[in-house]
Structures are given as structure tokens and as C-alpha cells.
Amino acid sequence: MKEIKAYVRNNMVNKVIDALAQLPEPPSVAAVPLETYGHGVKDDAYGRLRMTKLEVDIADDRVDEIVTLIERTARTGDGHPGDGRVLVTSVETALRIDTGERDEAALK
């Protein structure tokens, strides 16, 4: 299992979430608004950029599909600094509280 963290521009969030929703068996997504600092795009003197972090927990065999979709839909035109980043990390255990399902079954 993997966790995908995608930091995307606020104006691209709905586009990415809508694209994820069109997938067969769309994954659950958490969206967290935040401010990032020092990433080369400056909204003010401190290099602050308002973005949204999307978190998707997914089975290993769907990682490439999800990462490619996020990259394709979050990029602005030919790509610009501040379009964001995608990070993929391993998840050791998952538990669905309401059913007690574990691991990949808990992600559905």
C-alpha cells in the first residue's frame, strides 16, 4: 500500500479531484489547504505560495495510474514553477474503523 501526497495549485484542485472521480473505483481523497514556503514562486517577500495537499491511500498496483493522472491534470500548460510536487510513501497498515477491514481491503 502507498500514500500519495500531491501538492497542487489551489486553482487546479477541482480539476485533479474531478479526474480522480472519473476513474473506475475512484480512490478516496483528502484535501488540505496550506501555505508552502521557499519553493521558487513568490507571492510575497517570504516566498509564500498557497496550495492544497491531496492525500490518496492506494494499492501498490494503482500508484503509477494515480501519479500520472495527477501530473497530467495538475500541470499548467507547459508546466511552471509552483505547479507542485507528488510524493509516494509506503503505508505499513490500514484499518477501516467501521468494518474492521485491514490493509488493502480498508482502502476500498
Tens-digit pLDDT string for the chain (108 aa): 999 999 999 999 999 999 999 999 999 999 999 988 765 555 555 567 789 999 999 999 999 999 999 999 999 888 777 788 999 999 999 999 999 999 989 988
What's the maximum distance between 2 C-alpha atoms anywhere in the chain? Answer: 49
Q: What is the separation, in whole angstroms, between the first and last Cα of the chain?
A: 12
Residue type, 105: A
DSSP 8-state secondary structure symbol assigned to residue 25: S
d(Cα 19, Cα 83) in Å, to the nearest integer? 17
User: With left for phi above 0 and alpha for psi between -120 and 50, is residue 21 left, alpha or beta?
Assistant: alpha
Residue 40's pLDDT is 55
